[in-house]
C-alpha cells in the first residue's frame, strides 16, 4: 500500500467515513507533510472519493480551522515553479 493511500485512508476515517470529525488527524497530517506530499494525498483523495479535499474540509469544519486548512490546501496545490 502506498504511503499516500495510507494517509488518504487516515483522513477519510477521521472525517467523512464516520459521524464526527477527528480534527487532530487532519491537523497532524496537514502540518507534517510537505506541499508536494499533500498535493499527492489530495489528488488521491479526489480520485477515491469523487470530490476534493476542499469539499471535505468545507463539510467537516467551520471557522478558523476551516480557513486555515483550506489555505494550506490551496498553497499545496500551487505549482510554485510555474506560478508567476
Question: In CATH, which of 3.30.420.40, 2.40.128.20, 1.10.220.10, 3.30.70.1090 is domain 3-76?
Answer: 1.10.220.10
> What are all long-range contacts of 5-11, with beta carbons under 8 Å and residues at least 24 apart?
5/44, 7/33, 7/37, 7/41, 7/44, 8/41, 8/44, 8/45, 8/48, 11/41, 11/45, 11/53, 11/56
What integer pLDDT is reported at residue 19 of this predicted model? 56
CA nearest to 37, candidates 68, 83, 72: 72
Is residue 83 scored above 60 in pLDDT?
no
Tell me the per-residue pLDDT of 27-36, one tens digit each, with 9 for 90 and over: 788 888 888 8
Tell me the per-residue pLDDT of 65-82, one tens digit each, with 9 for 90 and over: 889 988 988 888 776 554
Rounded to two decimals, what is the model's pTM? 0.69
Instruction: Give domain limits for the chain.
Output: 3-76
Amino acid at each position: 500500500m502506498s504511503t499516500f493511500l495510507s494517509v488518504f485512508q487516515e483522513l477519510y476515517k477521521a472525517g467523512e467515513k464516520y459521524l464526527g470529525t477527528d480534527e487532530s488527524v487532519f491537523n497532524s497530517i496537514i502540518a507534517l507533510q510537505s506541499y508536494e506530499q499533500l498535493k499527492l494525498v489530495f489528488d488521491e483523495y479526489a480520485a477515491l472519493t469523487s470530490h476534493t479535499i476542499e469539499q471535505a474540509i468545507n463539510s467537516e469544519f467551520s471557522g478558523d480551522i476551516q480557513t486555515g486548512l483550506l489555505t494550506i490546501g490551496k498553497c499545496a496545490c500551487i505549482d510554485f515553479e510555474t506560478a508567476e
